[in-house]
Amino acid sequence: MDNEYKASITGVGSFLPEKVLTNDDLSKMLDTTDEWITKRTGIKERRIVENGVAASDLAVEASLRALDDANVLPTEVDLIIASTITPDCLFPSTSCYIQEKLGARNAGAFDLLAACAGFVYALSVARSFVASGAMKTVLVVGTECMSKITDYTDRSTCILFGDGAGAVVVQQGNGRREIITTYLGSDGSQAELLMLPAGGSRLPASHETVDSRSHYIKLRGKEVFKQAIINMVDVITRAATENNMRVEDFDMIIPHQSNIRIIEAAMEKLKLPKEKAYINIDRYGNTSSASIPIAMDEIEKGGVLKPGSTAILVAFGGGLTWSSSIIKW
Ligand code: COA
């Protein structure tokens, strides 16, 4: 793409609810163990919102931190894009609630749904608006209350998910954290591998949908596991090749945190040391589209990556969808 401007991430922020749900807590609720969950997923604990807290509440906290980090006022934001599969309600959009709570009165606002790959999708949209010169300041938020759509009687899914939010501010390049490329992919023929069946126009809410627990995540874990590895490897390799790089040129892989075994298998296929992948799944589980911006915030605040390093964000999720983005830190 011929950019008129370079687009950079000028601020990062995240927010995790305080309440911790450990593997031991789960083992008191259903037939599982800390050992099984740790070995099969790498997850030790996850954060869970209190009753009455919605995705926009987490998003606002993360956004305020990102705006502060970028030294940008809410009134200076031109557009808010919220990536979420756990919106406050079906409509209006969660980003409109965020807009109101932030007092971002000059901003347009819309939600984007690409499941766990959604944050990088939204980053790609933000980059295009900024690079074309159409907008100066875009706030991108990944925010999820996964606990609200998780079936805590289903041990094969409830161990995986957690709540949280992360946000970034995208503006014209300032020489730091430049978004070099973004790649997006999808395969709707495999939509049924990971979905929330009811509550939309196909299967509206009814007594039957509630009785059949159809308002919770349904996951075909083994198949998703395989597809995640294939597509994460592919989208990293493609990003490298199309930018005349080798995969070993990436200083860090910042993957969506879905399962430690998925990440380690992808690293092995890429012939990269697993230490190059940023991992925090042990503390937060899978927070869907919030996982990458939460990791970016930890990396930035912890000084984990030196300025000038090259990182690649890589995500995979329901849809199926996948995405990657090279960032010059
Ligand atoms: N505790 C104990 N045993 C469990 C369990 C739990 N929480 N969950 C499943 N089991 C059991 C199963 O019942 C099965 O028992 P069986 O052999 O007697 O039938 C056994 O463990 C193996 O189950 P299986 O589903 O084959 O395990 P797995 O190794 O595939 O791990 C997932 C299951 C869900 C952890 C794994 O498939 C996964 O992470 N998939 C990707 C999911 C994902 O990340 N989705 C989001 C993508 S963004």
Contacts for 167 with CB less than 8 Å, ≥ 6 apart: 12, 13, 14, 59, 62, 63, 65, 66, 139, 140, 141, 142, 293
135-156 pLDDT, tens digit each: 999 999 999 999 999 999 999 9
Active-site residue among 23, 231, 259, 286?
Answer: 286
Q: What is the pLDDT of residue 86?
A: 98
256 in active site: yes
Flag whether pLDDT at 2 surpasses 70.
no
CA of 225 to the centre of ligand 1 (A): 10
Query: Which of 86, 113, 156, 219 has most ligand 1 atoms within 8 Å of its beta carbon, as the pocket-test mutant?
Result: 156
Pick the CATH number of 180-328 from 3.40.47.10, 3.40.50.150, 3.30.230.10, 3.40.50.10860: 3.40.47.10
Q: Which two tokens stand for residue 152?
A: 């805590």
Mean pLDDT of 199-218: 98
pTM for the model: 0.96
Contacts for 91 with CB less than 8 Å, ≥ 6 apart: none
Please tell me the distance from the alpha carbon of residue 212 to that of residue 210, in angstroms, as a whole number.
5
Flag whether pLDDT at 236 surpasses 70.
yes
Task: Indicate the SS3 state at residue 158.
Answer: helix
CB 290 within 8 A of CB 143: yes
Please tell me the distance from the alpha carbon of residue 65 to that of residue 14, in angstroms, as a whole number.
7
Active-site residue among 96, 116, 145, 158?
Answer: 116
Q: What is the pLDDT of residue 175?
A: 79
Please tell me the distance from the alpha carbon of residue 100 to that of residue 54, in angstroms, as a whole number.
14
Pocket lining: 237 vs ligand 1, CB cutoff 6 Å = no
Q: Which is nearest to 138 in space by CA: 162, 90, 172, 112?
A: 172
Please tell me the distance from the alpha carbon of residue 84 to that of residue 231, in angstroms, as a whole number.
21
284-306 pLDDT, tens digit each: 999 999 999 999 999 999 999 99
DSSP string, 237-276: HHHHHHTT--GGG-SEEEE--S-HHHHHHHHHHTT--GGG
Pocket lining: 224 vs ligand 1, CB cutoff 6 Å = yes
Flag whether pLDDT at 96 surpasses 90.
yes
DSSP string, 56-86: HHHHHHHHHHHHHHHT--GGG--EEEEE-SS
Domain ranges of the chain: 7-176, 180-328
Pocket lining: 101 vs ligand 1, CB cutoff 6 Å = no
Flag whether pLDDT at 276 surpasses 90.
yes
286 in active site: yes
Model confidence band, residue 173 (pLDDT cutoffs 50, 70, 90): confident
Q: Which residues pair with 47 in a beta bridge?
A: 20
For residue 32, the ligand 1 atom closest to its alpha carbon is 1
Flag whether pLDDT at 10 surpasses 70.
yes
Q: Which fold has domain 7-176?
A: Peroxisomal Thiolase; Chain A, domain 1 (3.40.47)
31-60 pLDDT, tens digit each: 999 999 999 999 999 999 999 999 999 999
Please tell me the distance from the alpha carbon of residue 231 to that of residue 324, in angstroms, as a whole number.
10
Pocket lining: 225 vs ligand 1, CB cutoff 6 Å = yes
Domains 7-176 and 180-328 alike in fold: yes
Q: Percentage helix, strand, coil, to 5, in the chain? A: 40, 25, 35
Mean pLDDT of 167-194: 94
Mean pLDDT of 183-199: 97
Q: What is the pLDDT of residue 174?
A: 74
